[in-house]
Structure 1
Amino acid sequence: MPKTITEQHVRKIAQMIRNWSIEHALDWNAVCIGAQGILGWDNPPTRQALDKKIAIKVSYKTKKGHLKLEKQRLVDMPRPRSTLDAMKKITRLQAENDELKAELARMAEMANRLIYNATLAGLTRERLMAPLPTIREPQSRKA
């Protein structure tokens, strides 16, 4: 009886490809070896067998393109001139991140307070979440 690749196998293999790490090279040989574990076969499937499945083929091409763009983005990223410059930038970004987190926490606390007070005043959630009215431009009068 020939071995078959079911739709469930195809979905799992496609998911494996979508979750592929950038640290490992994505090629058909690696996909075949990874698919072997999913399929539970003694030998890995052939590239041609996997390439015939459209979901696997599309996942492979999409992920390959994404990895290529990610690699190019990393190559194009400006490098700091020294370790000291990199440390200064990291420290500045961490401070900025902490400030933004604190601001977000203050905004969330204010939103909770407004919702609580509005509820005490008798406003319903639907009334609170109603869209803002649109402001129309005044039409010019014809002379």
Structure 2
Amino acid sequence: MAQHLTDQDIENIVEILDYWSPNEKLTWDNLCNAIEQQLELIPAPTRQTLQKYAKIKNAFDLGKKSPAARLIMSRAKEKVPASLKIAQARIDALESKIQRLEKENSMLLEQFVVWQYNAYKYGISIEKLNEPLANKNT
């Protein structure tokens, strides 16, 4: 049976991808193993389950593109102090995270434009769109 992931699980998996070591090959199997070890999700979600979540898939795809550049940079700086290597790894991870968040933001803006067009097309007023959510108690 396929495992259902919570929003927090998805955020944690994306964070694992953001901080993926450039020295370790990023594969779905390696990611599943990391999830099982770090998040203690047993059994670990399968590749098929992970790919169903756009946030995870996008973070994985970005991670597959960027590690080569990070690995070249880390090899070029092998003679630097450990503290600088740690700082560089953190910078690389944060840059990767920024890139992922910018892509997610762009996707959300595209979705908003679609909703905006459909609202106009079907005559939904701005007042209707801005109505507050109903309380559960009422």
With normalisation by structure 2, the TM-score equals 0.47
Higher relative contact order (CA 8 A, sep 6+): 2
With normalisation by structure 1, the TM-score equals 0.46
